Amino acid sequence: MSIYDTLNPEQKEAVLHTEGPLLILAGAGSGKTRVLIHRIAWLMEQGVEPWNIMAITFTNKAAGEMRQRVNNLVGFGAESVWVATFHSTCVRILRRYIGFLGFDTTFSIYDTDDQKTVMKDVCKRLNIDTKIYKERYLLSVISKAKDELISPLEMEMSAQGDFQKKRIAEVYREYQAQLRRNNALDFDDLIVKTVELFQNCPEVLDSYQERFRYLMVDEYQDTNTAQFKLISLLAGKYRNLCVVGDDDQSIYKFRGANIHNILNFEQVFPDAKVIKLEQNYRSTQNILNTANEVIRNNYGRKDKRLWTENEEGSPIVFRQFLNGFEEAENIIGDISSRVGKREADYQDHAILYRTNAQSRLFEEKLILAGIPYKLIGGVNFYARKEIKDVLAYLKTIDNGKDEVAVRRIINIPKRGIGATTLNRVGDYAGAYGISFYEALLRAEEIPNLGRSGGKIRPFTVLIQAMGSKLAYMSLTDMTKELLDETGYIRDLENEGTDEAKSRIENIDELLSKIAAYEESADEPSLSEFLEEVALVADIDSLEESSNYVVLMTLHSAKGLEFPYVYMAGMEEGIFPSYMSINGDNPTEELEEERRLCYVGITRAKKELMLTAARQRMIRGETMFNAVSRFVREIPQEYLEVKKNRDSTAKIPSVQKQAAWQQSKESFRAKPYETQPLVVNKASGLDYTVGDRVRHIKFGEGTVLEITEGKKDYEVKVEFDTAGIKRLFASFAKLRKL
């Protein structure tokens, strides 16, 4: 039996079609990588030399996996097939020929930090006000220009009297000049300079056209304009270009991806053969029907419809909850129930959401339920820089003796207080036996500080003022005023990057957490809030086993698959986002959001649940959003709408109070679990000091101390491997050995 007999008819047709331009429209889960490696094997069987074959993709991981699969399938000669990423390909070419462009072949490749350093120097040299033009924003604009092969001169000419654009073009020109002086390229330059090399040196281009007579490109929908130009130049002589992609999974516009590269392929190559791979090997037919019905609402796409020989499967479940707390609690409860019945493992479940900020509630619920999880494509919520910065401010206001917190934020935002000044303050504190913050309060008494002492005073005045406002202001309002006074949010807004927007969303989620805490606490205080957060963050920092629930954004989920998938936050304004609904080009932006929804749906193999909340905390305020249009686009025959047992009883009550009461209950308890050892404080504990106990994550340990608090017991335990930890009894769920 031939290895090609295992392919379906469309896959086989794509493998055997070797001459001329070929567009393979590969739907989700249709086996596109399998087609590529079999196509390489077929080419070699037809007498094509392996070194004349090139397969190019985006990530080192994808290239490594493809290389391994080619080696396994082809065997002898496979090592001569060029399997690489765009950037590694360009580096290899430039190391040989960049001399034609005036660079030395020993050029450096600058990472993000290197770029920032160069940009700081450029801004200083050009007297650029970095409060108006943030370094990150300038680098982002330059990167987008390079993606579109726009030079500094072209940017300047297109400015047409626009002062801001002319200023940025000036920065772009100087930035490139500095890179040349440093004999360095940034990552965007690797593509741009290779294109420039091929355009300026026909003999070099010809040598690589002869070398790569058969060119294959994976994930073609993610290419930008510069990458498309590079590919078209390489394939210009023999035209044996095979591109594989799915326009319905083009979700990286914010990274420069140009969907028109795949949509207009036949216009650039009129003689192109188009083959559609529509048979899915991953999901049930109901999941595919749902994906098909949602994506068919996009106009900018090529028509195709996924189908499978798999079973029809369960309907898609949609549940609308009262609020985000209830949503998280029920999803975690559903996972816990399924695993408890031994129907699945934790690793079979994925919770997907639109923004990183949405992870916070799920992280807290998973921790409280003692369920292992892993956050993919992001940092633990409480470990993110912006969250740690804001919490450091709150810690300083609450306890100035926390030197780590004080040192973290004394120059955030920049106050011009240098390391020498801080060292002198530290020496003074040590000499007089006082805290670092107390020394800051006496800055005017510290010798040799000079003008730096005057820069310290505004910081200490701010901290003292914020602390005094807690006597008559809520913690939520005080934090908002703190963010306003420091200009932290304004600085992020001025950056204008996608990363900055994500960080603002995370801060908004922290404000929601603070507001939820205040509503649920009997006597809210800054100290208690920080204690509550520290407890959750501390438990979450543990190592997990390989069997864990996966949390990730929809963007991070592309290319992955799970038996059970939950898509949370299916509400207008969340998904699709307000930015896409109210953007400069809402039609295009909404279509990309819908493609993102399609990607999420097609990650599910067996079951898919979509969830929404009637009200959700955003920036500490209750928002009421309609159910996402993407849910409404699913026909009723594919959708099972489940009602919650308690929702109808809770909705008629005062909604805001019900939401905060729910937040209180859901933060302190977990659903669908066996009866915990500590039901409430009155029931007491079944262990005492000296007893051996077990914790679900920390393992075994010895109880050192038990402190009775107003609402709970605080237990100090020395764990055998994790060291000494202080835990709330109702959180810890310790079991006596």
Residues designated catalytic: 32-33, 218-219, 249, 603
CA torsion sign, 423 to 428 to 430 to 433? negative
The whole-angstrom separation of Cα 121 and Cα 174 is 10
Please report, for residues 388, 467, 468, 724, the alpha-carbon distance to residue 458 in angstroms, rounded to integers and kept in the order given. Answer: 21, 14, 15, 39
Neighbours of 707 (CB within 10 A): 11
CA angle (40, 218, 310) in 5-degree steps: 85
Token output for 650: 């809770």
Find out whether 550 and 373 touch, Cβ atoms under 8 Å: yes
Of 77, 22, 20, the closest CA to residue 47 belongs to 77
Token output for 687: 């262990």
- Residue identified by tokens 């205040």 is 518
Find out whether 240 and 266 touch, Cβ atoms under 8 Å: no
The whole-angstrom separation of Cα 265 and Cα 270 is 8
- Angle (deg, nearest 10), helices 498-520 and 475-486: 150
Cα Rg of the chain (Å, integer):
29
Find out whether 11 and 27 touch, Cβ atoms under 8 Å: no
DSSP per residue, 477-511: HHHHHHHHHHTHHHHHHHH--HHHHHHHHHHHHHH
Say if residue 563 is preceded by a cis peptide, omega within 30 of 0.
no
Of 234, 208, 211, the closest CA to residue 223 belongs to 234
Three-class secondary structure of residue 615 per DSSP: strand
Which DSSP state fits 166? H
Taking phi first (over 0 means left), then psi (-120 to 50 degrees means alpha), and beta for anything else, what does residue 559 get?
Answer: left
DSSP per residue, 219-247: SGGG--HHHHHHHHHHTTTT--EEEEE-G
